[in-house]
Amino acid sequence: MSATPPAALDLQDVSCTFVSAEAPGQRYTAVREVTLQVAAGEFVSVVGPTGCGKSTLLNMAAGLLVPSTGSVRVFGQPLSGINRRAGYMFQAESLMPWRTAEQNVRAGLEFRGAADAPAQAQDWLRRVGLGAFGDRYPHQLSGGMRKRASLAQTLALDPDIILMDEPFSALDIQTRQLMENEVLALWQGAGGRARKAVLFITHDLDEAIAMSDRVVVLSAGPASHPIGEFHIDLARPRDVAEIKTSPRFIELHSAIWAVLRDEVQKGYAQQLQRR
């Protein structure tokens, strides 16, 4: 019997405590004893209240934060430093304003020494529907087009793992749905490419269910931890707008919201206390 392949991402009992630079005695534990795996080719979303440590988990997976306790493994190997097998799509704008869309997409390729960086950048711009806009600067692109360019920038490096931190939260609902479907089409192997492992952070429960294989629910912080995990057994391929009307989607949404509702209320109450 063949051995089970290691997870693409394996966070084991990770905690992250921040110490105040001004007052070292003041500590804040964002997440505590979180165990989370993402298999190769699996799309996993993490949902939870504002301030529950979702981005902290993503940053530990990226190697941008070192866990206070616990361990992070990437395809079975301990993570040390930056996760070189991951691409990171941030919530904030990541395009360099002084470079064109094509120059932004090819920047990482050039850093890696790819001789055909311009051709690869143009190919990825075509894949995300921006083939005719490679000479435009970010300020000449719409919000959705800038997100497409950022997506091409991330995928051009062909990472084995894709980390996404609420990448579409600033978009209008129609553009957001187009981008969600674009990501799913690329992830599902358009062009014959193998599926990547995806860890997706979102506040939007509809988005999480529509896109994912599995949804993990985090408690309100501090010391946030998983309180629920749901396998999304909706058939693929999916259209994120159409799937939301299916009886199974509604059933899953109800089940996950039943777990998430109280935590969202706790998180909201905490935000009010800090004002």
**Which stretch of 80-89, 107-116, 183-192 has the lowest confidence by average pLDDT?**
183-192
272 pLDDT higher than 80 = no
- The neighbour count for residue 69, using CB atoms within 10 Å, is 12
pLDDT at 9 over 70: yes
Domains of the chain with bracketed CATH: 1-85+165-266 (3.40.50.300), 96-158 (no CATH)
Identify the helix (H) or strand (E) that includes residue 153: helix 143-155
Query: Average pLDDT over the chain, rounded to whole?
Result: 91
pLDDT 10s digits, 214-269: 999 999 888 999 999 999 999 999 999 999 999 999 999 999 999 999 888 877 66
pTM of the predicted structure, to 2 decimals: 0.93
- Report the candidate in 234, 230, 205, 198 with the shortest Cα–Cα distance to residue 216: 230
The residue written with tokens 């993990």 in the block is: 216
